[in-house]
Chains A and B, each alone.
Chain A
């Protein structure tokens, strides 16, 4: 569907063969002689356009070098720049994860340089965020991310996981900031982004149902989508190998269930990649969703691994409700008797949770544990009446003895740079 560009052919055509265009209407004045040029005041030309053209000139003369000079390059070898650590220590703004053990209760706790991590700070006018001593180069960034995952997110803690999450989320955001300022791209980014995406997907499941003031699923979602989008772009622009690409393309499909955009993107991937088992399964699940076949969808979902289920989990409530909606219409009759146990099996829930779900949707369950479907009866459950967390069994069963470290570091362990 691309326009063929005829002018390109024109540009490369032999000038001799180009036809002389007839000018029927122009009574051409003589071309201005050398003496006729108008005097221009150089000052008049300080317009934006002129400056841009001049810049284009400079760039033309020494393109590569100029660009490289302009991009900040970090030199900070610690997870937290020394200056920031001193400042935050003096201002008593250390997180307790960063304090030197034993000094936490002091009036001014001391920072532990081996555990302090650069925090995210909003860019502001007058603030120079490009000082090399404040920026961490790629190997340090990767080291930082591994520390955050292995030693904070995955470590047993006296603190609730919502707090662990908030700290890691913030520090990962600062890592992202360093990456952007240094215009990092390609392979350097992939390792960092993969771990970040896994962490946020896991968090979206683990913290599901927590009070809004402690965890906001929408904010998690916004950032997760950005990281995921960047990661998929990296796969596209840098030629591989990308050993984990199959995993992340499928996570994207599951997290964005039903998104025509994500599906179209996937369909345009090379056939070899598209035919890998994880991506195929994620595509089948999406197709089942689009065909409105929740029975099939929930069955296919059983084949997903734990993290994939985490990615999908926020859509499962909708799928289950959909099943009840469609069945409410399909089985709608006065004499309808659909066994609750059968329904429970289809929903992959136990009988009591199934009954609870039915109640929330206005679907009647009689005293013999038979569901009486009726299209008039089904109602969308009100906001906040359905607690997704109660229905997490589909994921929790798969967690078994997987640790957080297993989940987030996954098979990337063998590919550590």
Chain B
């Protein structure tokens, strides 16, 4: 592959298309394949050659692909991105003309993946030079991906075997990656709706399903729908291949906070196995009701948590921590009429200095409102009066 001539390459492409060999054709257009390192293919103006061998729009597509290899060889990702855009555009023209057949799906996967990757790299290059609006290229890439998605989603004629709908989940996953990167999660919704209402949703490949559930789970987290988030992320974790340690770890990073919010603390063993010891102090602090330790743990690993986008969710654990602390107070005093002072003392012992009796009442009122405490506050008696039965319901039962 590294030594073939341009003519040989074009001939191979021609044959792949002619014989409808989707996977092989995809390789010839993918940057994962060694042909892109072949200097004989890195031409500045391959259009004429391509026109000689290939029909439109394949000639434009391949010409743009070759110009892309040239750009990448020159380390110019902005140019590469521009050409990859042309590749995808031309591909889509061809794809749309394939009536009731989907052999080109692997090609679509390859060229759209490269588009997203180049958009990422191009943005980074521009950022370094201080040019360009942030997210501009990724947004444009997303628009193109959406066009592909629409072509797939609207394929109602073909039978299941030949349907373009099989491309929907892959594209959704690519789009999710972009939307999460540019922080525009609300754009995920129409994709989720489309997949949900499709009859193929359970039949996509395991790898695609795991990726899909991972992102949908993260979106549910963002929407504070923790029960749903737990369901999706657990699926992703359980079905992720044993050998993909890195991916399993990534899923856990999001699954752990969700489980903790629902009252399930991870074991030390689990954290060590997946190299996630950043969570160990957080876990300890929450179970003990130790606000001081929680704040310390959050600030110690702030950078990590922020980069993963879970810092804000972990802050929600504060409410669970208060609940655990106050439950301890209840268990210690062994009465159903708890003086508010006691909670204040407990907080002071945890070195929480900036909370006064008014705020304690507010925190308690909120815990009651959320269902974490069954009871009421009596202002006149300055007491929290809790129910004689199950005043601190288990966390998993509180929605």
A32 to B93, CA, bound (A): 26
CB <8 Å contact, B47 and A50? yes
A292 to B33, CA, bound (A): 53
Residues of A within 8 A of B44 (CB): 60
| The stretch of A136-144, A150-158, A200-208, A232-240 that contacts the partner chain | A232-240
CB <8 Å contact, B309 and A49? no
A331 to B377, CA, bound (A): 5
Residues of B within 8 A of A333 (CB): 376, 378, 385
Q: Is A293 part of the contact surface with B, judged by Cβ < 8 Å?
A: yes
* Minimum Cβ distance to chain B for residue A297 (Å): 10
Question: Closest A-chain residue to B82, C-beta based?
Answer: A56
CB <8 Å contact, B7 and A31? yes
CB <8 Å contact, A331 and B308? no
Q: Is B106 part of the contact surface with A, judged by Cβ < 8 Å?
A: no
CB <8 Å contact, B63 and A53? yes
8 Å CB interface, A283-312 against B? 287, 290-296
CB <8 Å contact, B306 and A40? no
CB <8 Å contact, B315 and A287? yes
Residues of A within 8 A of B132 (CB): 237
A321 to B358, CA, bound (A): 17
Q: Knowing A26-B15, A233-B134, A290-B312, say if A15 contacts B365 (CB, 8 Å).
A: no
Residues of B within 8 A of A293 (CB): 359, 362-363, 366
CB <8 Å contact, A18 and B316? no
Q: Is B273 part of the contact surface with A, judged by Cβ < 8 Å?
A: no
8 Å CB interface, B256-279 against A? none
CB <8 Å contact, B11 and A28? yes
CB <8 Å contact, A10 and B380? no
Question: Closest A-chain residue to B180, C-beta based?
Answer: A1
A7 to B203, CA, bound (A): 30
Question: Closest A-chain residue to B27, C-beta based?
Answer: A21
Residues of B within 8 A of A239 (CB): 130
Residues of B within 8 A of A327 (CB): 362, 365
A268 to B312, CA, bound (A): 12
Q: Is A29 part of the contact surface with B, judged by Cβ < 8 Å?
A: yes
- What number of A-B contacts does a CB cutoff of 8 Å give? 191
CB <8 Å contact, B45 and A57? yes
A388 to B121, CA, bound (A): 48
Residues of B within 8 A of A10 (CB): 31-32, 34, 36-37
CB <8 Å contact, A294 and B362? yes
* Minimum Cβ distance to chain B for residue A223 (Å): 18
Q: Knowing A10-B32, A47-B57, say if A338 contacts B379 (CB, 8 Å).
A: yes
A295 to B32, CA, bound (A): 57
Q: Is B90 part of the contact surface with A, judged by Cβ < 8 Å?
A: yes
Q: Is B86 part of the contact surface with A, judged by Cβ < 8 Å?
A: yes
Question: Closest B-chain residue to A295, C-beta based?
Answer: B362
Q: Is B64 part of the contact surface with A, judged by Cβ < 8 Å?
A: yes
CB <8 Å contact, A29 and B15? yes
Residues of B within 8 A of A296 (CB): 359, 362
Residues of B within 8 A of A294 (CB): 362
A42 to B73, CA, bound (A): 30
Question: Closest B-chain residue to A331, C-beta based?
Answer: B377
A244 to B329, CA, bound (A): 47
CB <8 Å contact, B5 and A330? no
| The stretch of A102-110, A126-134, A257-265 that contacts the partner chain | A257-265
Residues of A within 8 A of B183 (CB): 261, 264-265
CB contact between B365 and one of A8, A11, A326 (< 8 Å): that residue: A326
A336 to B378, CA, bound (A): 7
CB contact between A330 and one of B3, B57, B316, B376 (< 8 Å): that residue: B376
Q: Is A13 part of the contact surface with B, judged by Cβ < 8 Å?
A: yes
Contact with B along A1-41 (1 / 0, CB 8 A): 11101111011110110111101011011011000011010
Residues of B within 8 A of A91 (CB): none
Interchain residue pairs with CB less than 8 A apart (21): A8-B72, A10-B31, A10-B32, A10-B34, A15-B2, A18-B1, A28-B11, A32-B11, A47-B57, A47-B60, A49-B86, A49-B89, A53-B47, A237-B132, A267-B311, A268-B307, A287-B315, A293-B359, A293-B366, A326-B365, A330-B369
